[in-house]
Structures are given as structure tokens and as C-alpha cells.
């Protein structure tokens, strides 16, 4: 397993020279005071990208729109990383690797050989081949906690079907129901 934190997204975005997203809902950023994100296409630097993916208070459906925005950014990052210009530019590849390394946590069992094999296995994958979806949810619990944020409830009854789809390599049959609306 490998994990990248939010600061890693910011660093990779900057290493790529920014990313382009098509923002579905205009909003004023809580995390980047004075920054308004209009609806439509825009180019984001790392600081803006981080504010874009952290926002939830500006949306009627809070965390759900935040997830959709995070998926938009991940898609834009994948597009930038898989771009022929990036892949054929050793300086840019080095910059991206240098940017993400301090923000990457890798499971002890994930070896360099595993990473190389994964790279080879994914060499034909393109951004359009990637489908984003969420685990099944059953709404929110309402305002709770010391900061008053809602908690998203899992739909535990629907999880076994998702698990089976992973096991049987039939995700294409369940992904449409699990895609975040608006993507």
C-alpha cells in the first residue's frame, strides 16, 4: 500500500506546473481566504488545488461535493502524470518524484520490484480508463462533534456487493451506482 497526504497533492500539482479542472460549482474558499473558484475550466497551482479539495462548508452536500472535487483533482493529476510531455521529460519526472517522495508512505511489504511491476502493468492505462466511485453511503448523521461537522454513514448492507465486485473483477457492473454525482 502507498499513501500520499494532502501536502503531496499540492507538491505534485506544483511540480506539474499546475493542473486544469472543470469546477462544477462556484464557491468562495474557506481555506484560501479571498479566493473565489468560479464554475468552469480553470488552472490551479498547488495552493489553490489544496484549497479546492479541502472545501466542504461552501456546498449544500458538504463532504459529498468535497469528494467529487478530490476526484476531479486526482483525475487532473493523473492526466498530468500520464501526459507524454511529462513522461518524456527527465527533468519533469525527477521534479515530480522529488515532490511526492517526502509525502509518500509505503507499506514495508511494497518493494521496488513491486513498484516496477505495477508501472509495467499500468503502462497502457489512460485517464479515460479510470473510473472514480465512492463506497456506498447512507446519508449523514447530522451535525455532531465538537466542531459541528456531519459524519457520512456507510451503507453496510451494500458493501458486500462492492467487495464481491472487486473479488470477481466485475466493478463495471457496480461503479455506475457508486459514482459521485456530477462526474
Last residue of a domain, one of 111, 126, 141: 126
Same domain, 135 and 77: no
State how many domains the chain has.
Answer: 2
Query: Do residue 87 and residue 103 come from a single domain?
Result: yes
User: Residue 116 sits in a domain of what CATH number?
Assistant: 3.40.630.190
- Give the end of a domain, one of 126, 150, 173: 126
Nearest residue to 3 via CA among 130, 110, 108, 106: 106
Indicate whether 9 pLDDT > 90.
Answer: no
Asked if 13 and 89 sit in the same domain, the reply is yes
What pLDDT sits at residue 179? 61
Confidence of residue 64 (pLDDT cuts 50, 70, 90): confident
12 and 61 in a single domain? The answer is yes
Dihedral of alpha carbons 99, 44, 16, 121, sign: positive
Count CB-CB contacts under 10 A for residue 145.
9
CA distance linking residue 56 with residue 31, whole number of Å: 10
Residues 108 and 135 in one domain: no
Tell whether 59 and 92 lie within a shared domain.
Answer: yes
Among 110, 126, 142, the domain-final residue is 126
Average pLDDT over residues 147-155: 78
* Residue range(s) defining the domain that contains residue 95: 2-126
Q: Are both 178 and 103 inside the same structural domain?
A: no
Confidence band, pLDDT 50/70/90 cuts, at residue 183:
very low
Taking the C-alpha atoms of residue 99 and residue 86, their distance in angstroms, rounded to an integer, is 14
pLDDT digits (tens, 9 = 90+) for 73-98: 999 999 998 887 887 888 888 888 88
Do 114 and 156 have their domain in common?
no
Q: How far apart are CA 60 and CA 69, in angstroms?
A: 14
Q: In the prediction, which pLDDT does 43 show?
A: 98
Same domain, 110 and 139: no
Amino acid at each position: 500500500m502507498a499513501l500520499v497526504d494532502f501536502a503531496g497533492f499540492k507538491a505534485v500539482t506544483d511540480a506539474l506546473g499546475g493542473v486544469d479542472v472543470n469546477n462544477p460549482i462556484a464557491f468562495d474558499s474557506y481555506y484560501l481566504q479571498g479566493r473565489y473558484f468560479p464554475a468552469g475550466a480553470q488552472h490551479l497551482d498547488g495552493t489553490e488545488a489544496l484549497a479546492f479539495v479541502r472545501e466542504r462548508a461552501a456546498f449544500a452536500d458538504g463532504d459529498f461535493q468535497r469528494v467529487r472535487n478530490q476526484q476531479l483533482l486526482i483525475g487532473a493529476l493523473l492526466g498530468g502524470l500520464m501526459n507524454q510531455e511529462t513522461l518524456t521529460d527527465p527533468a519533469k519526472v525527477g521534479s515530480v518524484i522529488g515532490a511526492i517522495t517526502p509525502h509518500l508512505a509505503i507499506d514495508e511489504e511494497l518493494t521496488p520490484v513491486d513498484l516496477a511491476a505495477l508501472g509495467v502493468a499500468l503502462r497502457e492505462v489512460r485517464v479515460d480508463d479510470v473510473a472514480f466511485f465512492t463506497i456506498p453511503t447512507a446519508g449523514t448523521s447530522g451535525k455532531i462533534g465538537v466542531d459541528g461537522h456531519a459524519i457520512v454513514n456507510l451503507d453496510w448492507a451494500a458493501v458486500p456487493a462492492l467487495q464481491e465486485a472487486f473479488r470477481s473483477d466485475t466493478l463495471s457492473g457496480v461503479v455506475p451506482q457508486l459514482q459521485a454525482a456530477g462526474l
